Amino acid sequence: MPSIDSAVSPAVGSHVPESRFGVWFLGTRTWIQHVLDRALDNLETLIPSRRASYPVVVDVGCGWGHSFQRLQTRFAPERLIGVDVSPEMLAASVETAMIAGLDVELLLGDDRRLPLPDQSADLLLCHQTFHHLVHQHEALAEFHRVLKPGGVLLFSESTRRYIHSWIIRLLFRHPMDVQRTAPEYLAMIRAAGFEVGSSAVSYPFLWWSRPDLGALERFFGIKPAADREETLINVVGVRR
């Protein structure tokens, strides 16, 4: 049965909490199908030397826990661990895991101080969590610390272009001064000690990340410009 281990308390000021609208939205079918599933589908194709199983899988910023069943199905872990800074979100994750019949270890902690031993994880997912973090370099150092050599980081993020858009400013909450472009995120991941091949990076331009929510292409067939500033980046990094 899933349970919450709160032995490690989150650091104060390490992240910007989501808005009430944002918390609700993260539990909707729209989020699950068009954000989470699309990201995992894409990330899985970017993994070099894909293994049949990754024994210890960690979701950092697990939220409602909708990734759990998907991670279990795709990566066949022996241990599945969810970490979140919010006790309320972890409580929701318990319910999600119980409904799915999954044995998930749930840990209260933030990304600067993950409650996990050194080199203990085979695969770590950070999906749409990083743009909430104030201390991003420290978080990447923690990801590197807990992954085993050769361990895999699945990183999926919205870029500064999207987070600074008016609709996101209106409905969600983020630390605006730390948002980064796609090239900046990629450079930061590599500098943190992750190998990222050219085939392990993707720049989806999904309808929900566009200023017009995809209306121009959907209704008028107008394709987005090729030289645009990217709104999303998916990266698979291998821990050196």
Q: How far is CA 96 from the centre of its chain?
A: 18
pLDDT recorded at residue 163: 93
Q: How many CB atoms lie within 10 A of CB 88?
A: 10
- Domains in the chain: how many in total? 1
pLDDT recorded at residue 216: 75
pLDDT recorded at residue 210: 85
Any idea which residue has 């872990």 for tokens?
77
- pLDDT tens per residue across span 45-66: 999 999 999 999 999 999 999 9
- The closest of 161, 160, 233 to 200, measured between CA atoms, is 233
Give the CATH number, domain containing residue 76: 3.40.50.150
Kindly give the parts of the chain with pLDDT less than 50.
7, 12
pLDDT recorded at residue 16: 81
Q: What is the pTM of this model?
A: 0.91
pLDDT recorded at residue 219: 83
Cβ contact 80:103 at 8 Å: yes
- The closest of 98, 114, 135, 189 to 14, measured between CA atoms, is 135
pLDDT recorded at residue 3: 59
Which range of residues forms the domain containing residue 203? 3-218+226-239
pLDDT recorded at residue 12: 47
The dihedrals phi and psi of 41, each to the nearest 5 degrees, come to -60, -45
- The region, left, alpha or beta by phi > 0 then psi within -120 to 50, assigned to residue 85 is alpha
